[in-house]
Amino acid sequence: MTSQPQPQPSLEEIYTTIKDLLPTSSHPSLSNSVIPSLLQSIQAVASTLRTSQTISQAGTANAFGDDQLNVDVQAENAIRDALAACPAVVTASSEEDPKEVSTSSPSATAPATNEQYTVAFDPLDGSSIIAPNWTVGSIIGIWTGSSALHQLPSKSQIASILGIYGPRTTAIVAWRLPDGSSSACFELGLSSNSVEIVRPSVRFAPPPFKTRYFAPANLRAAAEDARYSALVSAYISEKYTLRYSGGLVPDVVHALVKGHGVYVSPVTEASKAKLRRLYELAPLALIVECAGGRAVDPATGREVLATEVGDCDERGGLVCGTGEEVGRVCEAFGI
């Protein structure tokens, strides 16, 4: 028996649910079109994952030479379709197709807008853990203007979204106005026919912490960097709780849900940087900062959002989480 497509909440229904959490008056298209459309695409990706029982090679590779899975391609298409229906989105690029290209609405009746946005996204982060059925996610950054390149992320990246595909489908949305006058970070629950606010405010908790969490990514670098090895050993001796899945989205979201945590992904000469600034680092950094945390480059100690992205393939390491824990990592690394 062939399953029928599940109904989706309309863009109006999504907007009505979350409008009080968005910058409606100053950026109406962002509020009532761009963000709702992307949330709708996250639900479409979730539906695709639930009906794709076989995870297989698609027989293609992206521009970086990475082999694509069938679900990578489907997730890419779902988000691209959503963007094509947003008149305010004029440019888009993704980790699967890493070049900025113009977008256009297929609807001749689409209303005109003076707002212009660029969207840069990783359609399905966590390809290495999706076959064993672990939680994976989508990472989406929304920038003002017609390009995300050569712009200061702290000023031009206005919003970002994490879609989380686990036992539940959820999304964390953050936005911050370019002048820094207002910001928000909240969590939504997405089902086949509804959207609801799970947490109207996502924030890291203040100390003291009953439980401290750490997620040591790129752990093989500890064999090459004595500072990282000593830091991991210190976490263990101090009885921190390990929470590391190998997926960037679920590991960072875990800290956001628990209110505490630090994600550490350093870079060494032998263990090169894998996280792409445009598609992973910048969007995650905005969410972490809007939740009251910090996100820094472990090579320099600079805030991730303080560095312009000059090329779609720029990569780096990441340390993010509560400010106290990020500061400790910076001290341990001497940055």
| Band of pLDDT at residue 107, cut at 50, 70 and 90 | very low
Q: What is the mean pLDDT of residues 274-283?
A: 97
CATH code: domain 11-199 is: 3.30.540.10
106 has a pLDDT exceeding 70: no
Residue 3 has pLDDT above 50, yes or no: no
Tell me the pTM. Answer: 0.92
Please give the pLDDT value at position 101: 95
pLDDT, greater one: 115 or 128: 115
Q: What is the 3-state secondary structure (H, E, C) of the chain?
A: CCCCCCCCCCHHHHHHHHHHHCCCCCCHHHHHHHHHHHHHHHHHHHHHHHHCCCCCEEEEECCCCCEEEHHHHHHHHHHHHHHHCCCCEEEEEECCCCCCEECCCCCCCCCCCCCCEEEEEEEEECHHHHCCCCCEEEEEEEEECCCCCCCCHHHHEEEEEEEEECCCEEEEEEEECCCCCCEEEEEEEECCCCEEEEECCCCCCCCCCCCCEEEECCHHHHHCCHHHHHHHHHHHHCCCEECCCCCHHHHHHHHHHHCCCEEEECCCCCCCCCEEHHHHHHHHHHHHHHCCCEEECCCCCCEHHHCCCCCCCCEECEEEECHHHHHHHHHHHCC
CATH of segment(s) 213-333: 3.40.190.80
Domain ranges of the chain: 11-199, 213-333
Give the pLDDT band (50/70/90) at residue 57.
low
Confidence of residue 208 (pLDDT cuts 50, 70, 90): very high
Structure confidence at residue 6 as a pLDDT band (50, 70, 90): low
Is the pLDDT reported for residue 2 higher than 50?
no
Q: For residue 7, is pLDDT > 70?
A: no
Least confident of 61-70, 96-105, 144-153, 227-236: 61-70
- Among candidates 233, 234, 239, which has minimal Cα distance to 213? 239
**How confident is the model over 166-199, as pLDDT tens digits?**
999 999 999 999 988 899 999 999 988 889 999 9
Cα–Cα distance for residue pair 315/309, rounded to 1 Å: 9
Question: pLDDT > 90: what percent of the chain?
Answer: 79
